[in-house]
């Protein structure tokens, strides 16, 4: 089991480590904005589209997973909203606790841990998180002025096309499908590499405070998981995906959005960075427990 666990977890952290070392060794700060933008608007949508095309989603049968993906974001947010926390605004506290690193870490880790056959389901969870992040998340950070930002998210439209065209995939030219699939294969390693570069350029301040906040996030996820399982008819595979989803570290995107909307970016940066560093310990434990208990 230990060898299996290492084979699952180490590739994810190894690619991030390569990005971290690369970022540290540069004389100038690596400008990753263009690469990250290309990943968001080209490679990730290609991954979403090809995954949903090759793994058709039956919305009538898959509704429990969709509902679980939404509840896995909303319930921790509601629980955290009840907790009085000093030293950070309510917005800066809630958003990173709701939106986890479903892209950079979640997609590759779930594929390695639970098999490529679940890629369609994994992508659904990623798209749901992305959709809510660019709608509800921005709504909270912008105090209601960014409610329609999700309409500009290419991952949302890629998922719509993927679900719609899956039934007609035989009509789509093979060269087109192969091209899109190749573009999508760039997304996952580039996510991990970019995460490593990002971690290499920032420092964690207020370590004790950031550690406490991340423990609250993990506790909220752990408490909400059995509630969602009790509420919905989830398969064992879906329960594993959900268990890992709620225990992922905060998404790096939280820091970028807080910086954009001037919502305590330095504090959020420390929380996000420490949360991702803590995942070196928490993620192997969660993967191990899901493999032996579910």
Going residue by residue through the chain, which has 294 residues, state the pLDDT in tens, using 9 for 90 and above. Answer: 567 667 777 887 888 889 889 988 876 777 777 887 888 788 988 988 888 888 777 778 889 999 999 999 999 999 999 998 888 999 999 999 999 988 878 888 898 899 888 988 998 999 899 888 888 888 888 876 666 766 777 888 888 888 888 888 889 899 999 999 999 889 888 877 887 887 787 777 788 999 999 999 999 999 999 999 999 999 999 999 999 999 999 988 888 788 778 888 888 888 988 898 898 889 999 999 998 888
Token pair recorded at residue 250: 């905060």
Q: How many Cα atoms within 13 Å fall on the side-chain side of residue 267?
A: 17
Residues 182-227: pLDDT tens digits?
998 898 888 778 878 877 877 777 889 999 999 999 999 999 999 9
pLDDT given at position 260: 75
Angle at 159 between CA 158 and CA 164, to 5 degrees: 100
Residue count (the chain): 294
pLDDT given at position 159: 83
30 in the Ramachandran plot: left (φ > 0), alpha (ψ -120 to 50) or beta?
A: beta
What's the Rg (C-alpha) of the chain?
Answer: 18
Torsion of CA 159, 164, 167, 169, to 10 degrees: -60
Angle at 123 between CA 197 and CA 267, to 5 degrees: 40
- Is residue 167 exposed (0-12), middle (13-18) or buried (19+ Cβ within 10 Å)? exposed
Q: Distance between CA 256 and CA 264 in Å, rounded?
A: 11
pLDDT given at position 206: 82
pLDDT given at position 82: 94
pLDDT given at position 72: 96
Those residues whose C-beta lies under 8 Å from the C-beta of residue 119, and which sit 6 or more positions away, are 51, 54, 55, 111
Q: Distance between CA 199 and CA 230 in Å, rounded?
A: 37
Grouping H, G, I as helix, E, B as strand and the rest as coil, residue 204 is coil
The answer to whether the CB of 12 falls within 8 A of the CB of 109 is yes
Range list of H helices, 202-264: 207-231, 236-246, 252-260
The answer to whether the CB of 64 falls within 8 A of the CB of 238 is yes
pTM above 0.75, yes or no: yes
CA-nearest of 7, 20, 9 to 280 is 9
Q: Which residues pair with 250 in a beta bridge?
A: 100
Region 2-293: CATH code: 1.20.1530.20
CA-nearest of 9, 27, 53, 64 to 192 is 9
């Amino acid at each position: 089991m230990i060898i299996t666990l290492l084979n699952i977890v180490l590739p994810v952290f190894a690619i991030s480590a390569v990005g971290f070392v690369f970022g540290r060794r540069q004389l100038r700060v690596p400008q990753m904005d263009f690469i990250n933008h290309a990943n968001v608007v080209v490679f990730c949508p290609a991954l979403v589209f090809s995954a949903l095309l090759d793994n058709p989603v039956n919305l009538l049968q898959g509704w429990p997973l969709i509902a679980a993906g939404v509840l896995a974001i909303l319930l921790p947010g509601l629980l955290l909203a009840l907790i009085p926390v000093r030293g950070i605004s309510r917005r800066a506290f809630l958003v990173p606790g709701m939106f986890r690193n479903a892209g950079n870490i979640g997609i590759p880790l779930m594929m390695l841990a639970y098999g490529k056959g679940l890629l369609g389901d994994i992508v659904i969870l990623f798209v749901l998180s992305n959709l809510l992040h660019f709608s509800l998340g921005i709504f909270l950070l912008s105090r209601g002025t960014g409610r329609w930002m999700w309409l500009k998210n290419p991952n949302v439209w890629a998922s719509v096309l993927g679900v719609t065209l899956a039934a007609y995939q035989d009509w789509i030219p093979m060269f087109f499908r192969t091209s899109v699939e190749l573009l999508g294969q760039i997304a996952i390693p580039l996510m991990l590499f970019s995460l490593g570069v990002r971690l290499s350029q920032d420092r964690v301040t207020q370590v004790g405070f950031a550690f406490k906040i991340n423990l609250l996030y993990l506790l909220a996820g752990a408490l909400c998981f059995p509630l969602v399982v009790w509420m919905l008819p989830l398969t064992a595979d879906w329960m594993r995906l959900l268990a890992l989803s709620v225990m992922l570290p905060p998404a790096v995107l939280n820091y970028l959005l807080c910086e954009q909307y001037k919502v305590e970016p330095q504090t959020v940066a420390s929380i996000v960075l420490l949360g991702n560093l803590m995942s070196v310990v928490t993620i192997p434990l969660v993967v191990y427990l899901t493999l032996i208990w579910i």
